[in-house]
Amino acid sequence: MTAAAGLRGRDLALALVICLCWAFNFLTSAHALQEIPPFLFSALRMAIVLALLVAFMRPPPRSQWWRLGGIAMFTGVLHFGTSFLALKLAGNLSSPAIVTQTYVPMAVLLAWWWLGERFAWRTALGIGLSFAGVMVLGFDPMVLDRPLALFVMLGSSLMVAIGTVLMRRMTGVGMIDQQGWTAALSVLPLLAISAVVEPGGFAALREASWIGWGGAVYAAVFASLLGHGLFFKLVQRHPVAQVTPYLLMTPVFAVLLGIAFWGDRPGPALWIGGAMVLGGVLVIAIRTLQKKRPPVAEVTPEV
């Protein structure tokens, strides 16, 4: 299938399934975080992923250990831990779901700085539009009420952007190995951070109901394994930049779920700012596809 053809039929349905898996993860995780603190919840998610993949994992090439360790630290530990923290702090699903997409323009800027990758004015316009959208979104009363959550989510997006750029140069590591080893290298640091910054977390885990444990299982099985597994299948058949625009439905679905099931009441600033953020990401994806450059956004993060 050519790049211009877009996703059709089965592949379009797979993209929809991915978006729904990741969107529902915002909802199930928000419920679970009422019982389990964020970094401990992240460790639990990673432990489940590791348990499910350990039998299929292969050792990575020796030259890739340091890169895989960096990816695990920035993505598995810092991104997931702080994204769950931001979701808990925000008290809504809409703003975290939108702001997390800023990892795409951040990754473009990091690739320009670290790897010397250039971009034209249209991509720069997309970057500027996304960050301007965050500023507009920040004036929504729902966001202004808890501004710390916005800054934590921006920091989380920066962490996964760094992990994404590191991933660009990794070789000889498949999708299962990457997810498995990221989980394996993340569990202990997440537990250590939780022990320091989340006193009483382990006691809360012992008292957690099926909602807390179910949220962790959903995050591991449906968001990590199914969602990223299907994403990997799609990018085997299509350029990443061609798949990315379809995955922008994830925050849209998350906003709708927040309105329907979490009580979100986004105002005009969030709708306008959110449209600017996602519009900027869309511009970047389209320009990447048109220029046939290696994509800087090789993963699409979800909390």
295 pLDDT band, cuts 50/70/90, is: low
Q: What's the pLDDT tens digit per position in 104-135?
A: 999 889 988 887 888 888 899 999 999 999 99
Nearest to 168, CA basis, from 286, 299, 303: 299
Nearest by Cα to 36 from 28, 258, 153 = 28
Predicted confidence at residue 134, as pLDDT, reads 96
3 state SS of 170: coil
Q: Would you say the pTM of this structure is higher than 0.85?
A: yes
Is pLDDT of 4 > 80?
A: no
* Arithmetic mean of pLDDT over the chain: 91
Residue 1: pLDDT band (50, 70, 90) is: very low
pLDDT at 144 over 60: yes
pLDDT confidence bin for 2, thresholds 50/70/90: very low
- How far is the C-alpha of 196 from the C-alpha of 207, rounded, in Å? 20
Q: 79: closest CA among 156, 154, 158, 22? A: 156
Give residue 79's pLDDT.
Answer: 96
Q: Length of the chain in residues, anyone?
A: 303
